[in-house]
């Protein structure tokens, strides 16, 4: 798989810009995982941290699910990987965990995120609430997701370099 990444147009309207940057960062994480084996993707390459590229993808599937399904649409979408007993379960990988499964879950959540955001205005508020608190505008959720991906893509840069020496923006 070769991941194509294009920055949004510099003169796009706000929604196109926000969605474009979110998609850019989604593709950046996929690009950081390109060409690696399941074993390499499961490698926690900066001990003592358990952080791995596959773990980051699973984490972002959870984050997409939380913000676009549970918060934005108020869907009853339970966690994919974590639990009360294991709140960081997405990062606790075994040899049975595969890229195909992690990538598939992530892409499913991205598709559902797009579906739930379609037709809403940036100022529309979420139907659900996070931790019983405030409702969030779609604009806030997009901005938060861009921040979340950007932060974790920085982690992915370091992880990938540790795994096989690859670097790049």
156: confidence class by pLDDT, cuts 50, 70, 90: very high
- Dihedral of alpha carbons 27, 32, 34, 36, sign: negative
Lowest-confidence region among 8-12, 58-62, 93-97: 8-12
**Mean pLDDT calculated for residue range 147-161:** 96
- pLDDT the model gives residue 7: 87
Q: Tell me which DSSP letter residue 126 carries.
A: P
**Mean pLDDT calculated for residue range 92-107:** 97
- CA-nearest of 91, 113, 100 to 26 is 113
Contact residues for 161 (Cβ-Cβ < 8 A; gap 6+): 167
The tokens for 148 are 């979340």
pLDDT score of 168 more than 90: no
pLDDT score of 1 more than 60: no
Contact residues for 33 (Cβ-Cβ < 8 A; gap 6+): 41, 53, 54, 57, 99, 103, 156, 160
- pLDDT the model gives residue 2: 59
9: confidence class by pLDDT, cuts 50, 70, 90: confident
Q: pTM for the whole thing?
A: 0.95
SS3 148: helix
């Amino acid at each position: 798989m070769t991941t194509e990444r294009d920055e949004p147009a510099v003169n796009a309207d706000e929604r196109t810009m926000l969605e474009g940057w979110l998609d850019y960062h989604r593709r950046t994480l996929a690009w950081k995982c390109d060409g690696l084996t399941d074993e390499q993707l499961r490698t926690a390459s900066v001990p003592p941290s358990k952080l791995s590229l596959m773990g980051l993808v699973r984490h972002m599937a959870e984050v997409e699910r939380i913000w676009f399904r549970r918060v934005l649409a108020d869907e009853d979408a339970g966690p994919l990987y974590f639990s009360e007993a294991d709140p960081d379960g997405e990062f606790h990988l075994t040899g049975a965990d595969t890229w195909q499964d992690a990538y598939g879950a992530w892409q499913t959540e991205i598709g559902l995120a797009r579906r739930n955001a379609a037709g809403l205005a940036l100022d529309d508020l979420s139907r659900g609430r996070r931790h019983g608190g405030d409702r969030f505008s779609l604009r806030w959720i997009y901005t938060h997701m861009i921040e979340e991906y950007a932060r974790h893509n920085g982690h992915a840069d370091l992880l990938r370099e540790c795994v096989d020496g690859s670097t790049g923006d």
